Amino acid sequence: MSADTPHTKLNEEKAREQLIDLAAEFYDQFEHGDIPEMTLPTRTKSNIVFDEEAGVWVYGDRTSTRSANSVRGARKLLKAVYAVEFLAQQLDEDRSSTLRELYYLSESWDSEEAQFTSQDESNQLIEDLEIVSGVTREDFHMRPEESGAKVMGPLRIREQTRRGDRDIHCQEDVGQGGYQIPNNPDTIEFLDNDAEFVLCVETGGMRDRLVENGFDVDYDSIVVHLGGQPARATRRLTKRLHDELDLPVVVFCDGDPWSYRIYGSVAYGSIKSAHLSEYLATPEARYVGIRPQDIVDYDLPTDPLADSDVNALESELEDPRFKTDFWEEQIELQLDIGKKAEQQALAAQGLDFVTDTYLPERLGDMGVL
């Protein structure tokens, strides 16, 4: 038996009800002689709009319809029905599975037409079911593969596991690797903390440097390793640390267009998960660096921008997430100097430069320290 909180149990019950309701809707369409269909928001950049009240980017009003009036559409709905049946049974049995396992599980379904041709297809179907049901895949008991993201800092939590509750201090009770973020961070209870802010760090190398240098101890910071493009669990935990503990969130990435998008996904959400922006995004998160201006000010070691980098930067100038004076100025500067730099480039000034000088001065200027 799992050790779920009443809140997560309620979500799981809602998830099962919504899945059954979706199946019943298909049945009703058949019974009334209607062609079965499922309507979803169009998941493109052109259908992303800014929600002024929530402060995040969400899907707009444009929709697309999955209909059984074509062979291709009928196959998609058939796969959805098989997936709904599997997920409802999984919840009944209080089991869980990974997205990868779902892809392979379809091989055992009695209709070959219902089997997935790729994991991308099964992943997208789960996202579709999230959208039409209004609940998250975590409440379906669907897990991604382990992201490996970790937390280190002055935070005491209670983690619910199948072996009972476990109280953990994310400095005192963990090794140098830190506390690994679980698939569903809503099963974590925050007990106590002495933190002043949350520092989200893109790369494992920089995260290790900060921990080795004692940055989390010296500045009472919770260091969250993003692990590249952050997993949903990482973004959800970051949002909870901000919303529930009232901690400022700052993001520290490489100085290239792909890393700016990592910041964008933390702060404003992404096209892929725009239906969950209010659940995952932290619009108050601020960008520490690396900034193009840092390349100039600190004479950092750099690499030249590739054509793909230039194209990405130009695209970001049109991206609503980066429509601010700060980002337009920094992106224009980067295009002008034609260079990019990694976080670890700060080591050219010494291994302690990032923790003794760069971050304290930057965070001080930002009013975080």
Which candidate in 59, 82, 103, 104 is catalytic? 104
d(CA 77, CA 146): 29
Instruction: Tell me, yes or no, if 104 is annotated catalytic.
Output: yes
- The verdict on whether residue 254 carries a ligand-binding annotation is yes
Report the binding-site residues for Mg(2+): 202, 254
- Residues taking part in catalysis: 104
Report the binding-site residues: 202, 254
